[in-house]
Structure 1
Amino acid sequence: MSFRKRGEVLRTPDARRFPINSTASQRLPGNSNVSQLAGRMGNVSIQDVSNVRTATANAKASQLDARHPGVRPSPATSQPSTATGCQDLDKVLGHMGLPLGQSLLVEEQSATDFSSVLVKTFAAQGIIHNRTEGSNSVGKGNTHLVVLTINPFFAKELPGVYQGSKKDVKRSKVSNAESEVTVQNMLGSGTTVGKPIPAPAKDLKIAWRYGLNDGDQNKTLAKSSDTDLATYPNYSHTFDITSRLVPAPTSAELTLISPIQPLPAILAQLQAVFRKHQNKLVRILLPNLLHPVAYPPKYSKLSELVPFLHGIRSVVKQNADRAVLLASISSDLHSHSVLTMIEYLFDSAINLEPFPQEMAQYLERVYKSQPNKIQHGLLHVLKLPLLSERGEMHVQRSDYAFKNGKKKFEIEPWGIPVDDSEVQDSKNTAETPEVHSHQTNVNLDF
């Protein structure tokens, strides 16, 4: 039998078993308010609370500006998305852009280089967003570009914004001059300041007579695009591939990282970019992924490749509210198992399949009088961001075709065109009667 003094505590209450402080400990003399507060909160200390407050403050400090000109909600999931630099690609992805925190892989077959156009427009779109006013970080920028490449002249190869043809430029200048509220425009239009300009009655009569007010599909699509343009005027741009972005991006807008470095050094530089550029959208580019010229031979092994891609992916996921990733790769340089593993580590993937020589010659013959309609290959959709993770099947093969024009990269539904010359020849062959010979060598005498 043991004896103990009054007020002596044999053991302290276990915080896991008793999350709420017991009445016996409250009766003990000498307990301070700090110990009582710690007892009520379980095993959480004042230091842990301060750490949580610090982490919350850092998260708010690194939050992306809500008025960023290059971010809009996805019409499919309401996820914030950013433009890729190609309006047709934004539509194919299903979100009118690439959602934040997601990655896109662009595969390309054969020895062509169509994917470089998407890479450069993606980079140029980020620079244009950074130079667009309308956010709290005017002067400091709102977007930063990170490129893993050994090309020191990458910044000088970005395309410029398409300004339109000479006629379009003149028309825009005239329309802007007419839209300005000046005394000359008011006197010419016969209106006074403060009164709305009435619509011409002639246009209304023509619209009523010919039924132009009916809901047409093309008119609806044009109206929706105009609405998006009015709501997000600086979201997406059209780039002229034949021109160059002037002035070229500087070190304040672009960070070049050499992929030849060890993996810890690459990841450390990526994390340093996110710490340095707070409140900015960081667009990461991996052009010519695993190309033998730019990447060491060790990345041809899955044991070295998987940690490399997984490390970059983890950096993007840690900053999912203000980071996107785009990479391009040549599928002919790697085996099917390697490509499958790479596709697994990306959130979305598309494949560019250029047409063979026979198909290209056929299209040139069909569109001989319309060279602008000649497509250059098929676009296969392998995965879509966010939607494929939910288990939705969005694999689309041979449904889209792409063409790389002088002004932009276009994606449109694919359909095999009909050669009119072959149809006309078949009709002529069917209409022409066969010439029969009435001469015979058979003797008809009985």
Structure 2
Amino acid sequence: MSFRKRNAVISTSAATPTVGKLTNAQIPGVRPSPYDSRPTISTGTPSLDSLMAGHAGLPLGTSLLVQEHGTTDFAGILVKYYAAEGLVQGHQVHVLGLHEGWKNELPGIATPSSSRKDTTASSGDKMKIAWRYETLGAASASRERNTTVHQSVAGASSAPIFCYPFDLSKKLSSGDVKGQIKFHPSMSSPSFKPPAKALQSPFKLFIKDLRLKLANSAPDLVHRVIVPGLLLPTAYSGSSCRPEEVLQFMHALRALLREYAARLTALITLPVTLYPRSTGLTRWMEILSDGVLELIPLQSNAIHAPPPTSKSDPKSEEQTQGLLKVHSLPVFHEKGGGSSESYASREDQAFSLSRSKGLVIRPFSLPPVGEEEEEKKKQDAGKSMDF
């Protein structure tokens, strides 16, 4: 009979070294959701990340459909930020329907000095009347601070950056690009000879190539799908605009998102002026998408003004240029989860285009009474002094 001393640790065999697996937190540009810890990525627009049902980003394995009215291109700004964020983080970007020169139009990373000046200038402007307006501005500013992770001083923190600050007046340099981007044409090159056989749909070719890339790429590589201006007559032929072609493409893309739920996201823009939400095709596209946003630009002089430059007025950049409606959000309505508070406050949302912040989304509020009249009086006084 063997005796064993009490309170003695039982010795075990030599522990074999375990190979550490790559977690979502170690993948560049991916972090767990603060709500339910599901992996999320940034869309490149901090205010848009804050609308994602409490996840502070776009969850992997989901798609976002952005609808826009009129002839403006605010949705194109969101697409550029989405692509630039993916290239800087080292992701694989797949673009359908655009040319390779579009890569030169992506915004560059903002310098810490310019971003600090903009924040101090915006914080220094205070509202003149009504304490409720001032608290509203403070709430929106605090929400942007909580959802944005910027590294203002180089080397100050070793934590990875989730969302980089971009500047529309700059171009993305090749030194900042860590990922790859691939363009897929949506129309065949014109030729005088009639085709011997029917050409394959660009949607099917895109899905086929995307499936091969996902199957042959590393398991820790994140892929971003971009489909800007879906069904535009200038980018898609008449045969590609048939409902069966589009819906089959949406079904196939949704299947890839579910199959590679930890590696793939998609952002699609649609001109609602050509394809209203009352049509059956658009409604089915909304059903096959995880999130649906609608941009309604306001008919003002700010929309038709030239793009913001480096010397633009910060007050003019904060002017409301359109309204935003949230029809559905990723993960909130299908798999459960999401914050009901952020989903309930979706009714009154507005956006404005800023040089240093891009498309800024904030709660919509009317300007204080009397402010517009004072500005008109100042303009009239200045005109009367001119000879």
Counterpart of 2:50 in 1: which secondary structure?
helix
List aligned pairs for 1:16-415, cutoff 5 A.
66-93=25-52, 94-130=54-90, 143-165=91-113, 168=116, 233-247=160-174, 253-260=180-187, 262=201, 263-278=203-218, 279-335=220-276, 336-337=278-279, 338-357=281-300, 370-389=315-334, 394=343, 398-407=347-356, 408-415=358-365
Counterpart contact for 2:94–2:181, Cα < 8 Å: yes
How many angstroms does 1:287 deviate by?
A: 1.0
Give how far 1:228 is off: 8.7
Structure showing greater Rg:
1
1:69/1:161 Cα in 2 relative to 1: closer, same or farther (>3 Å)? same
**Structure 2: any 5+ residue segments left out of the alignment?**
1-18, 118-137, 152-156, 188-199, 305-312, 375-387
Amino acid at match of 1:162: A
- Provide the TM-score with structure 2 as the length reference: 0.68
SS state of the match for residue 367, structure 2? coil
Cα distance change of structure 1 residues 270 and 249 upon mapping to structure 2, 3 Å threshold: farther
Q: How big is the shift at 1:386?
A: 0.4
What one-letter code is carried by the residue in structure 1 that aligns with 2:292?
A
Give the whole-Å Cα distance in 2 for the aligned partners of 1:146 and 1:422.
45
Cα distance, 1:153–1:73 mapped onto 2, change above 3 Å: same
Would the alpha carbon gap of residues 115 and 330 (structure 1) be closer, same or farther in structure 2, given more than 3 Å must change? same
How many angstroms apart in 2 are the aligned matches of 1:224 and 1:251?
26
SS state of the match for residue 353, structure 1? strand
Residues 395 and 307 of structure 1: CA distance in aligned 2, closer, same or farther (over 3 Å)? farther
Q: Deviations over 1:262-319 (max 9, x none)?
A: 2432222111111232120011111111111112213433222211111122122211
User: Partner amino acid for 1:403?
Assistant: S
**Retained in 1: the 8 A contact 2:150–2:161?**
no
Q: Tell me how far apart the structure 1 counterparts of residues 24 and 371 of structure 2 sit (CA, whole Å).
A: 58
**Shift in alpha-carbon separation, 1:79–1:369, aligned structure 2, 3 A:** closer
Residue 156 of structure 1, CA deviation: 1.5
Q: Is the 8 A contact 1:145 1:282 kept in 2?
A: yes
Number of aligned residue pairs:
301
Q: Which segment drifts farther, 255-264 or 348-357?
A: 255-264
Aligned to 2:26, the other structure's residue is in SS state coil
The alpha carbon displacement at 1:373 in A equals 2.5
| Cα distance, 1:359–1:232 mapped onto 2, change above 3 Å | same
Which has the larger displacement, 261-270 or 243-252? 243-252
More helix by share: 1
Q: Structure 1 stretches of 5 or more lacking a match?
A: 1-59, 131-142, 170-215, 362-367, 425-446
Q: Would you say the 8 A contact 1:155–1:249 is kept in 2?
A: no
Call closer, same or farther: CA 1:265–1:82 in 2, change over 3 Å: same
Query: Are the equivalent residues in 2 in contact too, given 1:381–1:395 (CA < 8 A)?
Result: no
Query: Residue 236 of structure 2 aligns to a residue in which SS?
Result: coil
- 1:72 partner letter: R
1:233, CA displacement in angstroms? 3.8
> CA separation in 2, counterparts of 1:71 and 1:305?
30
Q: Deviations over 1:12-61 (max 9, x none)?
A: xxxxxxxxxxxxxxxxxxxxxxxxxxxxxxxxxxxxxxxxxxxxxxxx9x
TM, length-normalised to structure 1: 0.60
Instruction: Write the deviation string for residues 111-133 of structure 1: whole angstroms up to 9, x where unpaired.
Output: 10011110000000011111xxx
Q: Distance in 1 between matches of 2:115 and 2:48?
A: 28
Identity %: 28
> Relative contact order (alpha carbons < 8 A, sep ≥ 6): 1 or 2 greater?
2
Secondary structure of the corresponding residue to residue 243 of structure 1? strand
The whole-number CA distance in structure 2 between the counterparts of 1:379 and 1:418 is 21
